[in-house]
């Protein structure tokens, strides 16, 4: 048994969760996993999910690793959380008690029960949808966690659009402004592709409005003629102030005035 468990632990990333289906591929049956648990080699965190006993604890990223890599569910870190992990939201809390994380999945995808029911010490906000339906995996990237395992998350170009998608129900317009202001080095070719694939008129108009407001250099390389910005007005939040160019009402009068070259009210 010791030879087999030692071989298993060599393949098991530190501070990562593994699921029974992955153990099966390593030749570890449910009965053998139960024996390892009884011998205090591994700890069960939920039905069919385990952590190494010598890790003492695992973070939500270790659970997400199993979901993405072993279960291969189309779920990724997105929105504000993805921006935080890539250093664009240093003014916002990350991984602190009481903070939250944002995960996105394709339609009809659910988080496994063991992940949803485990106490990660944070609030997990999970959203499903087809915001970029023609290209659902466009703008996703990977990031190493403690040189042990990687997770899939939205690149900044996609993450900010996901953040805008959650306004005003989850995210605030004020926070979105701060995030957009920090995004000075977005890749215009990826921004263009994401805007063309984006299914939300609200997101596209908000994105362009804020990008123009902050005079980002990459904005001038976008071809707005290729974008479907829909018809009619869009209202974001309460107490709106109208921007004529993008037919957009936002809850910040100053933001309207600061947007270059606009007609106001």
DSSP string, the chain: -HHHHHHHHHHS-TT--EEHHHHHHTT--HHHHHHHHHTTSEEEEETTEEEEGGG----HHHHHHIIIIIS--SEEE-HHHHHHHTTS-TTS--S-TT-EEEEEE-TT----HHHHHS--SSEEEEEE--TTTTSTTTTEEEEEETTTEEEEEE-HHHHHHHHHHTTTTTS-HHHHHHHHHT-TT--HHHHHHHHHH---HHHHHHHHHHHHHTT-GGGGG--GGG----SS-EE-SSS-EEETTTTEEES-HHHHHHSTT--B-
Low-confidence ranges of the chain (pLDDT < 50): 93-98, 256-257, 260-265
pTM recorded for the entire structure: 0.90
Q: Where are the domains of the chain?
A: 2-55, 60-258
């Amino acid at each position: 048994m010791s030879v087999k468990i030692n071989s298993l632990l060599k393949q098991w990333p530190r501070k990562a969760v593994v699921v029974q289906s992955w153990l099966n591929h390593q030749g570890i049956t449910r009965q053998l996993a139960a024996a390892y648990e009884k011998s205090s080699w591994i700890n069960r965190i939920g039905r069919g999910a385990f952590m190494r006993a010598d890790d003492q604890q695992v973070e939500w990223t270790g659970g997400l690793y199993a979901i993405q890599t072993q279960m291969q569910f189309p779920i990724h870190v997105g929105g504000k959380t993805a921006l935080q992990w890539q250093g664009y939201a240093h003014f916002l809390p990350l991984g602190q008690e009481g903070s939250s994380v944002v995960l996105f999945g394709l339609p009809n995808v659910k988080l496994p029960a063991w992940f949803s029911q485990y106490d990660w010490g944070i609030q997990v906000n999970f959203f499903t949808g087809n915001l970029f339906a023609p290209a659902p995996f466009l703008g996703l990237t990977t990031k190493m966690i403690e040189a042990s395992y990687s997770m899939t998350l939205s690149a900044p170009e996609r993450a900010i659009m996901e953040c805008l998608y959650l306004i005003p129900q989850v995210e605030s317009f004020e926070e979105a402004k701060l995030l957009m202001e920090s995004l000075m080095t977005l890749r215009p070719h990826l921004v263009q592709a994401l805007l063309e694939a984006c299914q939300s008129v609200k997101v596209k108009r908000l994105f362009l409005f804020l990008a123009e407001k902050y005079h980002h250099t990459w904005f001038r390389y976008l071809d707005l003629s290729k974008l479907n910005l829909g018809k009619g007005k869009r209202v974001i939040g309460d107490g709106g102030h109208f921007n004529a160019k993008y037919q957009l009402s936002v809850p910040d009068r100053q933001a309207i005035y600061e947007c270059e070259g606009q007609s106001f009210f």
